[in-house]
Structure 1
Amino acid sequence: MEKEGTTYKRCSCRDPNGREQGRTCPKLRRTGGGWNPTHGTWYYAIDLPHHPDGRRRYARRGGFPSQQAAQDQITHIQALLAITGEDDDAGLRRIADLITAAIRGKQSLPGVEDIRRRFHRNADLNPTMTVGQWLDQWLAGRKTIRRSTLLGYTSYVNHHLKPAIGDIRLDRLAVSHLDAMFTAIDERTSSIRAARASTDPDTRLSVRGQRITGNATKQRIRAVLRASLNTAIKRGLITHNPAAHVELASGKRPKALLWTPQREARWRKTGEIPSAVMVWTPAHIGAFLDRAATHRLYPLFRLIAYRGLRRGEACGLHWADIDFDHATIDIRWQIAQLGWATAMDRPKSDAGDRTVPLDTATIGLLHAYRAWQDSERTDYGDGWPDTDLVFTQSDGQPLHPSQVSDLFHDIASALELPPITLRDLRHGAATLALAAGADLKAVQELLGHATITLTADTYTHLLPDLASEIAENVVRLIPRRRKQDDDPDDPPATGLVAGGR
């Protein structure tokens, strides 16, 4: 064999000893020496660049119906090898590896123009990697980001991206694939919202624990995919980023709306929920806490309702982080959830690592709760784990965040309260703080938001009834000698007309 290659015929006939005759079968040739067109199939063989250690390498493949078909394969291999110069030993070996892999895998030889583009970009010459394989590889290389951030990325990859587009070849991913993925996400979200808004308890129960995917989450899913594909471009695996061309609705955080009597009445009549973020009135919150007061996790719900802790932060609160003398708690941990798996992790951002002041009643409640937990630990015995967690299961094991959400919905449903999520209970704490006179900066620090813009975008709308009360309080704070502002029938003082002094 040589660089020009050769074609020949083989068959599977066997000699009297049972050995395959291959190229030596007499039936392959006619009497005059020409090839027998009805016996055997055509093969090709061609030398490839040697292995780095000098060992010889060649390509051979058969089963072709004609000599021309086999010769076309030789021509194809020669064109692939011609992509690089003869003095580029490393490049020749890369292409030879590609040819060998295709033959061993019983695959067609790769296209010349596609390999030419990849070779000149110094890209991976084997384009068979799927989107799912690349996402796994990309996640494994993220070594410098927070664990909680990595958990979020992994959740988007495993629960949204891989199920929808993971089997698509990376270099064939198109905008149409992503449009279909986000359409399916929207359809699922609509069905969950419709079920949650139903007045039928069984219908609401059918979607309990299922999470909707709002516009902001879809923006984050696209951002993760876009970042991963940008890395793939830098490594030469692809040439363009389809995630950069997907059109999505704005991910702007929805305004928090109060469940006023009017909105609640319409919901009970039509099932309509006016905003993605709904907030209970103080009466709703009070009714919920009154019912929750009989449960062992009542202090957890109180902390979320009054102080706006995130669910994972409440589940991950440690006794060592409660300062009873100064009535504060340090938020230093959270139980992060990835699918059903959980992990103890740091707060989701630097702003999340914060100190939260407590009221006297909550401090007293936590004192009593610690004493009760100590007796519970004693009754349980040596099997109680030493986690130092404030809130645990009845056997001392850490709480699962989803179980806390389920308990929240059970209590709220039993009271037939208008629907909110456990996260919305945190929103209620923020809105109540604003209505009580706290400024946006104070609420930002209370909730652990990374920016004050995030706080303002969500909580611009105060509780209408308490907002009116604030307006009245402002007037009462300013000392006045006259009271005519309070009596619309009392005319203004003279001189306060146009041109007066």
Structure 2
Amino acid sequence: MTKTLIGTPDEQPRKRKAPRLRDGVMKRGNTWSYVIRVKDPETGESKPRWVSGFATEDDAKAARDEARVRARRGEYIDRNAITVAAYLAEWIEGHAVEIKPHTLKGYRDMIRLYITPRIGTVRLQALRPSAITKFYRDLLTSGGKKGGPLAANTVKHVHTVLRKALTDAVLVDELLPNNPAERAKLPRVQATEPGMIWTPAQLRAFLGTTQEHRLYAFFHLAAYTGARRGELLNLRWTDVDLDKPQIHITGTAAVIDRQRVEGTTKSGRSRVVSLDLGTVKVLKAHRARQDEERLRLGESWKGGGAYVFTTGWGDPLFPDTPSSLMPKLIKTHNVQNPKAQLPHARLHDLRHIHATTLLLAGVPVHVVAARLGHADPAITLRVYAHVITEQAATAADVFAEALRSTA
């Protein structure tokens, strides 16, 4: 017995057509999907991989073609919904042990203050170079305090963190086929040339004014060795050999969350830095003064005599102490010497003055690099390229003079 359908053909129920798969692409509901076959590298078995959520058929086809190429190369990446914020949270925790505490804090700040608020909700695999470029531009114009501009150097630091994380997403976690941050456009950073903030005569004048201060030896050693602030604050008397004479730089000190922490040097390597006889005398006088302070305070002395540079009570110094003291000492000098004013300089500039003075005196780059603790002399060449250029300009005259002197 057959059933009779009532109504006109337009009123009769229609059978819903099943979605048709055409060359690996089909429409499901309001979005498009594609499917490719991917060979398992361990078993060799080929299995289908469905990827959905494309707005148009053309988008699905383009993604399909790209996925086919990667599958043939053995580079296919399974789809993952993890966001940029979620991945960075996992990434930073996974590196918490191996990254130095001060560097780790910097990474966390870059992620918390700049990356997560702006692109944290973006799906990691949807992050494109163009989106990262726009992200950098937005930071430049409105990424600072109260929506103001952010310094180009800070944007560069943000890029460094994001690039490192996305490199691991490619090479370690296999979530991305390539690193989109590598192809993003960074804002131009105006290069600054460290060097002779002060002349040697001005440096001598500053040290002369500082001579009566209990931390005079710190500024003297910073200027005469080129050591970093944290390296000097980590220095113990056991690291000082006044007979050879030299100091052994083994680590660094920093402040994280208001706590003084110690770790390895920036390069991760220790180094030996030679001393001149004048610096030996300065350190001997500093030790004698420290011994007097310890005897005067007796049981109130807290340091135990381990650290070279301490507070008046023997505690190891916080890094901010000499940094904040530097401008005060410069001001004192300028008040006492109105006709021989010193321009503003940072504590770190003593390191630059040391390096520049040696290079201009003709000390080989690799020797200067070793004193500064640069892992590669190429770093010294890059930072002090302007000094090397200045030397190169006089090379012809040096050669000609050498020949004339032998005539």
TM-score normalised per structure 1: 0.55
Picking from 116, 134, 137, the partner of 2:87 is 134
Picking from 152, 174, 185, the partner of 2:103 is 152
Deviation at 1:336, TM superposition (A): 2.9
Q: Separation in 2 of the partners of 1:407 and 1:306?
A: 18
Larger deviation, residues 356-365 vs 418-427: 418-427
Does the aligned pair in 2 maintain the 1:331–1:356 contact within 8 Å?
Answer: yes
Q: Separation in 1 of the partners of 2:390 and 2:379?
A: 24
Picking from 247, 261, 283, the partner of 1:343 is 261
Q: Assess, with a 3 A threshold, how the Cα gap between structure 1 residues 185 and 470 changes in structure 2: closer, same or farther.
A: farther
Picking from 115, 122, 126, the partner of 1:165 is 115
1:223 aligns with 2:167: no
Deviation at 1:359, TM superposition (A): 0.9
Does the aligned pair in 1 maintain the 2:381–2:388 contact within 8 Å?
Answer: no
Deviation at 1:327, TM superposition (A): 0.8
Alpha-carbon displacement from aligned partner over 1:27-72 (angstroms, at most 9, x marks no partner) = xxxxxxxxxxxxxxxxxxxxxxxxxxxxxxxxxxxxxxxxxxxxxx
The amino acid of 1:295's aligned partner reads: H
Deviation at 1:309, TM superposition (A): 0.7
Alpha-carbon displacement from aligned partner over 1:68-113 (angstroms, at most 9, x marks no partner) = xxxxxxx99xx9xxx9xxxxxxxxxxxxxxxxxxxxxxxxxxx962
Written as runs of structure 1 = structure 2, the 5 A alignment for 1:89-100 is none
Deviation at 1:316, TM superposition (A): 1.1
Does the aligned pair in 2 maintain the 1:155–1:338 contact within 8 Å?
Answer: no
Q: Assess, with a 3 A threshold, how the Cα gap between structure 1 residues 236 and 360 changes in structure 2: closer, same or farther.
A: closer
Does the aligned pair in 2 maintain the 1:165–1:181 contact within 8 Å?
Answer: no
Picking from 131, 135, 139, the partner of 1:177 is 135
Deviation at 1:218, TM superposition (A): 4.3
Written as runs of structure 1 = structure 2, the 5 A alignment for 1:413-492 is 413-414=331-332, 415=334, 416-462=341-387, 480=405
Q: Assess, with a 3 A threshold, how the Cα gap between structure 1 residues 312 and 468 changes in structure 2: closer, same or farther.
A: same
* SS of the residue 1:381 aligns to: helix
Q: Assess, with a 3 A threshold, how the Cα gap between structure 1 residues 130 and 434 changes in structure 2: closer, same or farther.
A: closer
Written as runs of structure 1 = structure 2, the 5 A alignment for 1:28-177 is 113=53, 122-125=78-81, 127=82, 129=83, 131=85, 133-142=86-95, 145=98, 147-148=99-100, 151-158=102-109, 160-167=110-117, 168-171=120-123, 174-175=131-132, 176-177=134-135
1:332 aligns with 2:269: no
Does the aligned pair in 2 maintain the 1:324–1:363 contact within 8 Å?
Answer: yes
Picking from 259, 273, 292, the partner of 1:356 is 273
Deviation at 1:380, TM superposition (A): 2.6
Match of residue 323 from structure 1: 241
The amino acid of 2:160's aligned partner reads: A
1:247 aligns with 2:164: no
* SS of the residue 1:422 aligns to: coil
Q: Assess, with a 3 A threshold, how the Cα gap between structure 1 residues 320 and 250 changes in structure 2: closer, same or farther.
A: farther
Does the aligned pair in 1 maintain the 2:365–2:381 contact within 8 Å?
Answer: yes
Q: Assess, with a 3 A threshold, how the Cα gap between structure 1 residues 385 and 170 changes in structure 2: closer, same or farther.
A: farther
Written as runs of structure 1 = structure 2, the 5 A alignment for 1:297-308 is 297-308=215-226
Q: Assess, with a 3 A threshold, how the Cα gap between structure 1 residues 236 and 481 changes in structure 2: closer, same or farther.
A: closer
Q: Separation in 1 of the partners of 2:327 and 2:319?
A: 13
The amino acid of 1:406's aligned partner reads: S
Q: Separation in 1 of the partners of 2:376 and 2:190?
A: 14
1:412 aligns with 2:364: no
Written as runs of structure 1 = structure 2, the 5 A alignment for 1:155-304 is 155-158=106-109, 160-167=110-117, 168-171=120-123, 174-175=131-132, 176-184=134-142, 215=153, 218-232=155-169, 235=173, 241-249=179-187, 254-258=192-196, 279-304=197-222
* SS of the residue 2:261 aligns to: strand
Q: Assess, with a 3 A threshold, how the Cα gap between structure 1 residues 324 and 180 changes in structure 2: closer, same or farther.
A: same
Q: Separation in 2 of the partners of 1:469 and 1:361?
A: 31
Deviation at 1:304, TM superposition (A): 1.3
Deviation at 1:420, TM superposition (A): 2.6
- Aligned CA RMSD, in angstroms, stands at 4.2
Deviation at 1:283, TM superposition (A): 2.0
Q: Assess, with a 3 A threshold, how the Cα gap between structure 1 residues 434 and 337 changes in structure 2: closer, same or farther.
A: same
Picking from 376, 386, 390, the partner of 2:293 is 376
Q: Assess, with a 3 A threshold, how the Cα gap between structure 1 residues 449 and 339 changes in structure 2: closer, same or farther.
A: farther
* SS of the residue 1:389 aligns to: coil
Q: Separation in 2 of the partners of 1:238 and 1:473?
A: 54
Tell which structure's C-alpha radius of gyration is larger: 1
Q: Assess, with a 3 A threshold, how the Cα gap between structure 1 residues 232 and 445 changes in structure 2: closer, same or farther.
A: closer
* SS of the residue 2:309 aligns to: coil
Could you list the runs of 5+ residues in structure 2 that have no partner in the other structure? 1-27, 36-50, 55-59, 64-75, 335-340
The amino acid of 2:285's aligned partner reads: A
Does the aligned pair in 1 maintain the 2:136–2:186 contact within 8 Å?
Answer: no
Q: Separation in 1 of the partners of 2:400 and 2:180?
A: 57
Q: Separation in 2 of the partners of 1:326 and 1:137?
A: 48
* SS of the residue 2:296 aligns to: helix
